[in-house]
Amino acid sequence: MATRMNQPEAKPWINAIHAYTPGKAKSDDGRVLIKLSANENPLGCSPDATAALVATQTSLARYPDPASTALREALGGHYGLESDQIVCGTGSDELLNLAAMGYAGAGDEIIYVRYGFSVYDIAARKCAATVVVAPDKDYGTDVDALLALVNDKTRVVFVANPNNPTGTYATDDEIARLHAGLPAQCLLVLDQAYGEYLDNDGPASFDLARRHGNILITRTFSKIYGLAAERIGWAYGQPHLIETMNRIRAPFNVTAAGQAAAIAALGDAEFVSKSREYNRIGREWMAGEIAGLSNHGLKAVPSWANFLMVMFEGAVSAETAYKGLMDAGYIVRWLPGQGLGNGLRITIGTEDENRGVVDALRMIVEPHS
Ligand SMILES: *Cc1c(COP(=O)(O)O)cnc(C)c1O
Coil, strand, or helix at residue 182? Answer: coil
- What φ, ψ does residue 113 adopt, rounded to 5°? -85, 135
* Crossing angle of helices 351-365 and 269-291, rounded to 10°: 20
Residue 60 CB contacts under 8 Å (≥ 6 apart), including other chains: none
The tens digit of pLDDT for each residue in 80-117 reads 999 999 999 999 999 999 999 999 999 999 999 999 99
Task: Report which of 172, 116, 176 is spatially closest to residue 140, judged by C-alpha positions.
Answer: 116
Measured by CA distance, the residue closest to atom 4 of ligand 1 is 92
CA–CA–CA angle 71, 75, 263 (5° rounding): 45
pLDDT at 30 over 90: no
- Between the CA of 115 and the centroid of ligand 1 the distance, in Å, is 14
Residue 164 CB–ligand 1 contact under 6 Å: yes
Q: Give the whole-number percent of the chain exceeding pLDDT 90.
A: 90
Residue 258 CB–ligand 1 contact under 6 Å: no
Can you list the domains of the chain with their CATH numbers? 21-44+270-365 (3.90.1150.10), 47-267 (3.40.640.10)
Q: What is the pLDDT of residue 199?
A: 87
Task: Report which of 266, 264, 275, 248 is spatially closest to residue 81, judged by C-alpha positions.
Answer: 266
Measured from the CA of 117, which atom of ligand 1 is nearest? 13
Residue 160 CB–ligand 1 contact under 6 Å: yes
Count the Cβ atoms, other than its own, within 10 Å of residue 275. 23
Measured by CA distance, the residue closest to atom 10 of ligand 1 is 193
Is the pTM higher than 0.85? The answer reads yes
Cis, bond preceding 42 (omega within 30 deg of 0): no
- Between the CA of 289 and the centroid of ligand 1 the distance, in Å, is 27
CA 83 vs CA 68, 205, 230: distances in Å: 10, 16, 21
Per-chain mean pLDDT for the chain: 95
Measured by CA distance, the residue closest to atom 12 of ligand 1 is 193
- Between the CA of 291 and the centroid of ligand 1 the distance, in Å, is 28
Measured by CA distance, the residue closest to atom 3 of ligand 1 is 193
In the chain the first and final C-alpha atoms are separated, in Å, by: 71
- Between the CA of 248 and the centroid of ligand 1 the distance, in Å, is 20
Q: How confident is the model at residue 70 (pLDDT cuts 50, 70, 90)?
A: very high
Count the Cβ atoms, other than its own, within 10 Å of residue 145. 14
For the ranges 2-6, 294-298, 314-318, the lowest mean pLDDT is seen at 2-6
Name residue 334's beta-bridge partners.
344
Measured from the CA of 228, which atom of ligand 1 is nearest? 9
The tens digit of pLDDT for each residue in 305-346 reads 999 999 999 999 999 999 999 999 999 999 999 999 999 999
Residue 193 CB–ligand 1 contact under 6 Å: yes
pLDDT at 23 over 80: no
Per DSSP (E only), the strands in 130-205 are 130-134, 154-160, 187-191
Residue 161 CB–ligand 1 contact under 6 Å: no
How far is the C-alpha of 290 from the C-alpha of 310, rounded, in Å? 8
Per DSSP (E only), the strands in the chain are 34-35, 86-90, 109-113, 130-134, 154-160, 187-191, 215-220, 232-236, 298-300, 307-312, 330-331, 333-335, 340-347
Residue 338 CB–ligand 1 contact under 6 Å: no
Residue 221 CB–ligand 1 contact under 6 Å: no
CA 45 vs CA 33, 251, 270: distances in Å: 21, 27, 11
